[in-house]
Amino acid sequence: MRRLSVILAICLTLVCTGCAPAAGQPSGERETGAAAALTEENASPLSTGAAPPGDIAESDTADSVTGVLDNTAGADMAPKGTAFRTESPEIIASAGNTASSAADKPIICIDAGHQGKGNNDKEPVAPGSKAMKPKVSSGTRGVATGKPEYKLTLEVALKLEKALDNDYKVEMIRRSNEVNISNRERAIQCNKADSDLILRIHADGSDSSGVQGMSFLYPSAKSRYTKDITQESLAAAKVLSEAILRETGAKSQGLKPRDDLTGFNWSKVPSVLIEMGFMTNRKEDRLLSMPEYQDKIVKGIKAGLDAYYKKSG
């Protein structure tokens, strides 16, 4: 019996020793084998922080993005079964953000034609073209007022910028006559601004002093450089011409496609060139310099843009 008691005591000691936790390891820290696999696979979405199916779209807003970014740094130390976002920072940053009112506004690039001093250096009339044209001229001049075209176009462009300010985002090519910006560079600047429409403000000239009226130019469909923007340019030109002619009562010289204008050929976005009238006609030249008439032109352009982008209110 004594020997049996000793054997039983030794067995009990060995069994208890196998149940004790290893030194420095808290009891319950590690699960192994099938038990651990079951814990990961059957983890409740609510307990892991993952939303149940169908509950993500409305709650996954910008308010939760900060927390996602803060926690991502510690993802390597997270318990298994915890949900983490894996999108790139750019995608996360935009998740749930609604566009601001400024971002919703169409971008209108206003190019006041010409500049104080012409630049007769040559530039390609189109990308890859061997045909060259002067970079930019100072334009025509009023026969009655003596005002140069570059001053007239800037006067109207600055008024237009102010008129469009509330409803559009405006990219101005120039706010001064003392610049040196080629026609190619003007188009490229509008392209880089991701413009929705380019408005090129000009005045006309003719060898005949009796010619008057407004012309509306747009990129030709026959040009391989502009055929992709012709349809939208023409649509905008039609709406703008109707609104401007209605507001000013000016005679119309019509809608005219062009394939020889550097500013059109380098444009990657729809573009319309407005010839406001003939500065070589004495009556129309005086009219174009009248602030009240300039205001009518601007009002007509604004009304045309509003109609084209279907703005109201």
Each residue's pLDDT tens digit, 241-261: 999 999 999 999 999 999 999
Using 70 as the pLDDT threshold, list the residues of the chain that sit under it: 1-102, 312-313
15-52 b/e with 16+ CB inside 10 Å = b? Answer: eeeeeeeeeeeeeeeeeeeeeeeeeeeebeeeeeebee
Distance between CA atoms of residues 136 and 179, nearest Å: 11
| Cβ atoms of residues 190 and 106 within 8 Å | no
Give this prediction's pTM: 0.68
The domains located in the chain, with CATH, are 109-308 (3.40.630.40)
pLDDT tens-digit map of 164-184:
999 999 999 999 999 999 999
pLDDT tens-digit map of 120-159:
999 999 999 999 999 999 999 999 999 999 999 999 999 9
Position 284, amino acid:
E
Q: Which residues contact 87 (CB under 8 A, 6 or more apart)?
A: 95
Distance between CA atoms of residues 203 and 190, nearest Å: 21
Supply the Cα-derived Rg of the chain in whole angstroms. Answer: 36
